Structure 1
Amino acid sequence: MTDILLLDDPLPGVRRLTLNRPEKRNALNNALRGAIFPALTEADRDGSVRVTIIRGAGPAFCAGYDLAANNAEGQPYHTAQGIWPWSRQVVEGWFRMWDLAKPVIAQVHGYCLAGGSELATACDLVYVAEDAKIGYPPTRLMSPPDMQFHPWLLGMRRAMEMYLTGDAISGVEAAQDGFANRAFPADKLDEEVLKVADRVSKVPPDLQQINKRSVHRAMEIMGMRDGLRAGTEMQALAFCTESSQAYRRQFKRDGGSVRDLLSQRDAPFKDYRETKTGD
């Protein structure tokens, strides 16, 4: 496995993937995305694996897509082209995870923002640190989410508040509102997630895949899959607005430009990069 994605088996039947770009808060570039999907496929095919955990190294689970990278190049799989195909590209990837036979668990700490929240959502179970921060700040100056899961998991009012403000919710709130299964103290998160994974691994995989798909089929009958796909068109439309285009024209392929533009976005709200701690 590449050095941007670490792999270990902490318990019998449990595969663990660790996003390993801590200096970038595990931001998702195509190299990292291109490592995640084969690793998940390998685990799904491996008879010794019954459940997979995804977590992040360093201070955050995942701060979102890597805006300093050229994400149009080196995409890990083909997506039909057209007007702004990026949102379709990433949502297709999340559905690849959704359609795996074996369960996948997200272990979330620190920031879980934008594309990072989509990665967590694509997992079957989500466990978070109580002080985690989950949000989609690009709604402030860029677009709504690529994968618009919020109304499905959080309900209309909470989803509307998060879209209209770009504010984050805490891990405790995420568990209360339906994004996560449970929240734990940060120093207990590893231990508690392994406990859950161990219990999940005790169910035979041939039955477990039916258990998993039963829940998914119920959501799909209610229209979740079609709704998420339709959301990619709304995201593409937002990128055609004057405000989004003016903001994105300022981006350059260097970290300094991205940091400045994130500060420009968040300074009026005094959060994310613009908190007093400067995190």
Structure 2
Amino acid sequence: MTQETGDAVRVDARDGVLTITINRPEKRNAVNREVAESISAALDRLDADSSLRVGVLTGAGETFCAGLDLGAFARGEVARSATRGFAGIVEKPPTKPLIGAAEGWALGGGLEILLCCDLIVAAETARFGLPEVTRGLVARGGGAIRLTQRLPRSRALEMLLTGEPMTAEEAWRFGLVNKLAADGEALGTATELARLIAANAPLAVAASKRVALESPSWPVEDSFALQGAILEPVFSSEDAREGALAFQERRPARWSGR
């Protein structure tokens, strides 16, 4: 286990899971430059470290993230990293699986951060919203792009055009949220889900995510050829042979990532 604590973001590595916590509860975890650069650095670590299999992103206290820190913005801060964009994530999410764990509000840029996560766990009283149009703005951190990919088009447009929030229960019914948790238990539930993923073969997990994300843009006639180019290294890997052998011997597999 390794743990790094910064003023704005805490990072903890344990059992193959990297937990990233936005640590500004007094500001409702609003995003400033330090948050963006720290999240970006944590995601770089997640992608580069072979001992890490999955990430969990959450917020300290009773709010996931209230979006952009307007006070910092007014002082001239740019809440983005050079490589990953706003909040250190929206233009380049990690290649490894990432789970969002949300308590309370995820507003504006906070929801845009969650939309970069592959899976979302939310407390029962969590709320999600993109209120930018009520302030004469537009959700430009990926909200207007990604929300229609995660919700039915009409419901996503309603959120974008009215600025009205969505409850966690409705988000779960529409499939935006994977699991509902009791208040205060979102991080624990997300960590349990992360450990299930971390227990699986890393090459297979990475290839599964890549095919799932890239295949919607593939021409239908080319889809199996494009999939094959990604999956063939998995099927010829040491881990594939180890998985078959472990099944035959009725023991847990020992993955090498090769």
State the TM-score, normalizing by the size of structure 2.
0.75
Written as runs of structure 1 = structure 2, the 5 A alignment for 1:36-185 is 36-70=39-73, 73=77, 76-78=80-82, 89-90=85-86, 93-97=89-93, 100-146=94-140, 147=142, 148=144, 149-185=146-182
The alpha-carbon deviation at position 92 of structure 1 amounts to 8.8
1:7 is matched with 11
Are the equivalent residues in 1 in contact too, given 2:31–2:79 (CA < 8 A)? no
> Which whole-Å deviations, capped at 9, do the CAs of 1:112-166 have from their partners, x for residues lacking one?
0100101111111111111101001122122231111222211221112212321
2-side partners of 1:91 and 1:54: how far apart?
12
Give the 3 Å change call, closer, same or farther, for CA 130–178 of structure 1 in structure 2.
same
Give the 3 Å change call, closer, same or farther, for CA 213–3 of structure 1 in structure 2.
same
Give the 3 Å change call, closer, same or farther, for CA 92–129 of structure 1 in structure 2.
closer
Alignment RMSD: 2.2
Are the equivalent residues in 1 in contact too, given 2:79–2:86 (CA < 8 A)? no
The alpha-carbon deviation at position 187 of structure 1 amounts to 3.4
Q: Percent identity?
A: 32
Determine if the alignment matches structure 1 residue 214 to structure 2 residue 211.
yes
Which amino acid counterpart does residue 61 of structure 1 have in structure 2? F
Unaligned runs of 5+ in 2: 220-258
The alpha-carbon deviation at position 196 of structure 1 amounts to 0.6
2-side partners of 1:33 and 1:60: how far apart?
17
State the TM-score, normalizing by the size of structure 1.
0.70
Are the equivalent residues in 2 in contact too, given 1:31–1:74 (CA < 8 A)? no
Determine if the alignment matches structure 1 residue 19 to structure 2 residue 16.
no
Determine if the alignment matches structure 1 residue 187 to structure 2 residue 184.
yes
Structure number with higher helix proportion: 1
1:197 is matched with 194
The alpha-carbon deviation at position 41 of structure 1 amounts to 0.7
Q: Secondary structure at the match of 1:49?
A: coil
Which amino acid counterpart does residue 180 of structure 1 have in structure 2? V
2-side partners of 1:34 and 1:91: how far apart?
7
**Greater shift in the superposed pair: 49-58 or 141-150:** 141-150
The alpha-carbon deviation at position 28 of structure 1 amounts to 0.8
The alpha-carbon deviation at position 47 of structure 1 amounts to 1.9
1:228 is matched with none
Count of aligned pairs: 211
Q: Secondary structure at the match of 2:52?
A: coil
1:274 is matched with none
Give the 3 Å change call, closer, same or farther, for CA 75–173 of structure 1 in structure 2.
closer
The alpha-carbon deviation at position 26 of structure 1 amounts to 0.4
2-side partners of 1:157 and 1:29: how far apart?
32
The alpha-carbon deviation at position 91 of structure 1 amounts to 9.2
Determine if the alignment matches structure 1 residue 34 to structure 2 residue 37.
yes
Are the equivalent residues in 2 in contact too, given 1:7–1:18 (CA < 8 A)? yes
1-side partners of 2:47 and 2:82: how far apart?
21
